[in-house]
Amino acid sequence: MKNKLVVITGASSRFSAEAARVLSSKGHCLALLAHGVDKLRTINLENSFCFNVDITCRD
């Protein structure tokens, strides 16, 4: 996945946060999406952008 942007939703969960750590350590650029963007920023990963999003379906 050279020069690809990896988008991870629910990135503040344990599983997704660990996946982000692994991908970041391999040099991937990350877009991390979650409700709790403050929690994402504490992970402090290189090459990552954190976005506070709500992707719930509202009818």
- Gap between the Cα atoms of 56 and 20, Å rounded: 22
Q: Looking at residue 58, what is its pLDDT?
A: 74
In 1-59, which ranges are continuous DSSP H helix?
14-25, 37-43
User: Is residue 58 situated within a structural domain?
Assistant: no
**Does residue 17 form part of some domain?**
yes
Structural domains in the chain (count):
1
Residue 1 pLDDT exceeds 60:
no
Q: What is the pLDDT of residue 29?
A: 93
15 within some domain: yes
Are 43 and 18 a contacting pair, CB within 8 Å?
no
Structural domain contains residue 59: no
Do the strands 5-9 and 48-52 form a parallel or antiparallel pair, or are they unpaired? unpaired
Is residue 57 included in any domain, yes or no?
no
> What domain range is 40 assigned to?
5-52
Residue 46 inside a domain? The answer is: yes
Q: Is residue 10 part of a domain?
A: yes
Note whether residue 37 is domain-resident. yes
Indicate if the pLDDT at residue 12 is higher than 90: no
